[in-house]
Structure 1
Amino acid sequence: MRCLHPYCPRNQQPATWQAVINSPELKLQAQYRAGALACLNTHYAAAPSMPATPRPAPPMPSAALARLLRLCPCLFNQIDVAPTPRAVVHFCELTLGQEITAANVHAAFMVQHPNLPPGFNPGPIKSCGSGGAIMEMLCSEVLTSAGIPAMSPETRGWPQWEMPGHVLLNEGKMSSLQALGDILIPCAPTNLIISVKSEVARERLLYSANSIEGIGFGFFKEPEEFWTSSRMSLYKRMGFTAIYMPDGTHQAVMDHVLAAGEERHAININGTELYRPLSVFATDMLRVIGRSSALL
């Protein structure tokens, strides 16, 4: 994930605070630049620490500070404000010491889990409190790492359509469509809509497909939610083409399905696997994006 903090452990091409202050993306008015730069050079000449240590916030308008935090998510370890979901994902990758991919996204989820040790190292000063949005950003980061970045919003709030790319349905003007799902993957004959869920599926996942070509993505830990023939039939009836889950959960589900002789129910409309491990999610999306959903 992009972070312009000059001392970010993941920053391969470190900037300077001067470069950050002058960045067109920060949009900081000239009268605030000298004071903000002096504060950053004095109090922020270090990488995120463990434990997190609050420091004086740079003197600038609140809107500019929000933009600074977006450009430099490491600052949530140093400024006493609640982190954004995007920043939480950044601290997950700092803790893992590598970018978030389909291979380690479950481990990243466990890092930020509020009830499981050891947690972040380093981490934000405060907790986020937006668990659903964090999981959506984890999925988005997997896609970005695979070469399918999130489309940036243009000035009016609509995404700038670029391929390959994905659309976050919880940002900008697209948020009016969030009831349909969380992430859109451009595809033919219909776009794929990814519904991101946590550790428990229940009926929330089942009814989130809205009879559109749906993809389930979650950190499900209860395999018994998935292995009955009736549940598999319902998922397909509701429009799911594939449901991705942690590799261990997937193994437990398929072991039970095979032992029960019901593997014929675990096949989607395209004649391929309905249930799949998270580790193949990015590969699958790369195969179908901008092409045909029938390849899934």
Structure 2
Amino acid sequence: MFDYTIKRILQGFLLIFIVSILTFLILKVIPADPATLILGTEASAENVEKLRESMGLNRPYYIQYIEWISNAIRGDLGKSYYFGKSVNSLIHERLPSTFLLASTSIIITFFVSILLGTLASLKRGKTFDHIIRLLTQISTAMPSFWLGMIALTYLAARLKIFPITPSIDFSNKLSKNIYNIILPAVVLSLGQMGPLIRQVRSSMIYVLDSDYILSARIRGLSSKKIIFKYALKSAIIAPITLTGLQFANLFGGTAVIETVFSLAGIGRLLVVSVEQRDIILLQGIVLFITSMVVIISIITDIISSSLNKSIKMEISK
């Protein structure tokens, strides 16, 4: 287990390193000169060149990359020339909103998917199973921005059940912030449920058809004990892995929902950095999101591996 953990950590560092190089090189291709964006198009060529020199933009790319990644390792992602603030502070300001949105969404997704996927596997081939499979396909196919607009129009604007422009203030109670975030979280979770429900259903069907479940039935164990103590515990490993990956991806995948609901999160900050061609901010956000995805993926893999090992030991007893 220790060797596996070290291996996954090293793979994570390698992936972050590769993504950082690709991000740096790709963004250099974008036709946007940071010095010109800072000073404006009316600035003289002499002043632009002086600023470029002070920012190190006239140096070779490999020198610029080494300096940027060295500062990033020390925790300095640079300064946004659109906001006039450090990238670290901007991410720190927006992260709590995105984290609360992603956490609430993934909790809803996980428990609803476990419930519906398990019921669909127990009712496989029947009407309930067909309905669930149809709903998962519909929820996956519908664009999140369209669902968000529908939810805002009917549930917020007309029925006034939820706020139109939800705000998150961490000086308030957690329950109030969750109430403000619940509508975009549900909309976000609808697009995540389809793959997870299918994963739970297929995993449960595979486990229920396995030999050790058959032997448990022969020993006369109750259906409730077989499902919750053995089948669900074994089938939950793959969905946990998928849930972890979905949670990691949500750190960079909330842009549409945050834009629709006017939430000040990491996703919205990413959109602004693209709109304003703020290369330094964009590089910092991409590196941060990549690091979060890798870290959460490693943690998820370790948890899944530990659960798989403990379940195998329990079954073998």
Q: Give the TM interval when normalised to the shorter protein.
A: under 0.3
TM-score, reference length from structure 2 = 0.26
Identify the structure with the greater strand proportion.
Answer: 1
Higher RCO (Cα < 8 Å, 6 or more apart): 2
TM-score, reference length from structure 1 = 0.27
